[in-house]
A and B are shown apart, each in its own frame.
Chain A
Amino acid sequence: MSRAVQSVESAEASLVQVRDLRTHIGGKTVFDRLSLDVPRGSVTAIMGPSGTGKTTLLRHITGQLRGDSGSVHVDGEDVAALSRNALFTLRERIGFLFQNSALLTDFNVFENVAFPLRQHTRLPEVLVRNIVLTKLQAVGLRGAAQLMPSELSGGMARRVALARAIVFDPMLILYDEPFVGLDPIALNQVLRLIRTLNRTLGITSILVAHELAAVRQVADRVYLIANGKLVAQGTPDELAREATPWTRQFFGGEADGPVPFHYPAPDYANDLGFAGGATR
């Protein structure tokens, strides 16, 4: 009984709860009993070396992937246990910003942002137009409404994708590497948008990113994942000060450390044929 009460309380406090998640993909362990919480209304950054499954974690949260054991709860619902229809209903309340923006290439900017509205509602055209233009204004691209995705720069495409992700005023937005490949101006624009959306609309945000400087400006909490486990957590400043090998290497940018510089390989001298040469 007390456990149930506790879990309800923690569900109220955190929008996303990952508990003891284990995942194997293609014989490789991606997550090994991973647990973390994303508080409501916060900006949480997930960091870690490339290939540790940060994007995979986002796919668990959206129900595109299911773990071998453990659970992922979003807004109190066990994502893995949901039917396809229930999952789609949940996804209407989640915005997802893809690394490559994933705009629909057949439609112009306006129609891309209007797409979720047209699919899920029967709003009159005037209202659709107003909502779409409001969202485009929020990302500063109202003037680009008639452009095709192929005419946009990387930064603009990402802002359009962001407008599309917030068109339903979601409770949660997942950003998959939102800063990759952006010039400093575009990066700051996207950064400002993430912060504004969180502060003004209270949208909970989960951010997968590598850029420590950007994360420091925007994130309330950072989870550092490596080898399928949580290796460090805290505010960005706490982690930057912490002196564990993981944080030192990751935030100090050292080339060698817990994440080795060399990919596992047989003995170097042996590989070059010197070992046999010495005895010949």
Chain B
Amino acid sequence: MNAQLQPRRNWLVNGIAQVGECGLFFLAILAALPKSLRYLREICRQVWFVGAMSLVIVMTCGLFTGMVLALQLYYTLSIFGGTAALGTVVALALFRELGPVLTAILVAGRAGTAVTAEIGLMRATDQIDAMEMMAVDPMAYIVAPRYLAGVIAMPLLMCLFNALGLFGGHLIGVTWLGVDNGTFWGNMTATIDLWKDILDGVWKSVAFGAVVMLIAVFQGYTTPPTSEGVAYSTTRTVVFSAIVILAVDFVLTAFLT
């Protein structure tokens, strides 16, 4: 083989091998899930950490996203004289797309990196080995509760993101730009379908929670036990999460609509 191609081939092979390892790691998490239900307190603590601690950033971003959406869509709709549909369009964009995707990216940046760094440092300071030595399965005690917490917290956070987004849209559309309040909400509630629009978004959000936390715990668990290793792993968590969220979003949207 051409010697110049060798590094590139290794890069590719390593990449594929890592995806395979990540898949096996996912199976190991699933296998550890029943045992991890024993650690209910730990799961609650992690839901609090992933969920409650992300509230401020998720809600702030939700509010501004809704406000920007209303401004932009009002401008677009006014070209066609359709500003009455503002509420519907803002809500559809939030429920079906922006809510799940932006929440997932925010959680990956806020909670995913924290989980990666935390598990990585546990690895570097032998805490994971110590648990193994105390006959406590780290997959059940450390990894699975964090994973589960992400899957539980993500749709809840998304709902709050959407609620604040709608409030922001109302603030701009009705209070500032003068769309009729009844029209804004009436058209919205008449068009939005619980199963098709809202629950589709919830399923997406659950799926994003599953992939973001898988990436976060996998990167943390396989971190090289050095400060440089932990730094690289947290970066990789954000980068991989962002790519995978958007790719999964495309696939899910294609299947769900």
**A97-153 contacts to B (CB < 8 Å):** 98-100, 102-105, 115-116, 119-120
How many residues of chain A are within 8 Å of chain B by beta carbon?
Answer: 20
Contact B135 A102, beta carbon cutoff 8 Å: no
Number of interface residues of B (CB under 8 A): 14
Q: Judge whether B134 is part of the interface by a CB distance below 8 angstroms.
A: yes
Query: Per a CB cutoff under 8 Å, which of A89, A104, A119 touches B127?
Result: A104
B136 with A62: CB separation less than 8 A: no
Q: Interface readout for A160-198 with B: 1 if CB under 8 Å, 0 if not?
A: 000010000000000000000000000000000000000
Q: Is the CB of A64 within 8 A of B127?
A: no
Residues of A within 8 A of B133 (CB): 62, 64, 91, 94, 96, 98
Chain B residues near A91: list those with CB within 8 A.
132-135
Quick check: A102 and B136 within 8 Å, CB to CB? no
Alpha-carbon separation in the docked complex, A139 to B136 (Å)? 24
**A116 engages B126 (CB within 8 Å):** no
Cβ contact within 8 Å between A102 and B126: yes
B132 touches A102 (CB 8 A): no
Tell me the complex Cα distance, A62–B134, Å.
11
CB-CB under 8 A from A105, the residues of chain B are 122, 125, 127
Evaluate contact between A88 and B129: CB separation under 8 angstroms: no
Most buried by B among A100, A105, A119, A120: A119
Pick the contact of B135: A88, A98, A164 (CB < 8 A): A88
Whether B130 pairs with A89 at a CB distance below 8 angstroms is no
Whether A64 lies near B134 (C-beta < 8 A) is: no
Contacts of A115 in B (CB 8 A): 134, 136
- A62 CB contacts on chain B under 8 angstroms: 133
Contact between A116 and B134, CB atoms less than 8 A apart: yes
B137 at the interface (CB under 8 A from A): yes
Given contacts A102-B125, A105-B125, contact A96 B135 (CB under 8 A): no
Assess whether B130 is in contact with A88, with CB atoms less than 8 Å apart: no
Point out the residues of chain B lying under 8 angstroms from A64, CB to CB. 129, 132-133
Chain A residues whose CB sits within 8 angstroms of the CB of B135 once the complex forms: 88-89, 91-92, 116, 119-120
Chain A residues within an 8 Å CB radius of B129: 64, 98, 102
Interface string of B118-151 (1 = CB under 8 A from A): 0000100111011111111100010000000000
Inter-chain CA distance A88–B136, complex, in Å, is 8
Residues of chain A with a CB closer than 8 A to B130's CB: 96, 98, 102-104
The CA-CA distance from A98 to B136 in the complex, in Å, is 16
The 4 tightest CB contacts between A and B, nearest first, are A102-B130, A102-B126, A88-B135, A96-B133
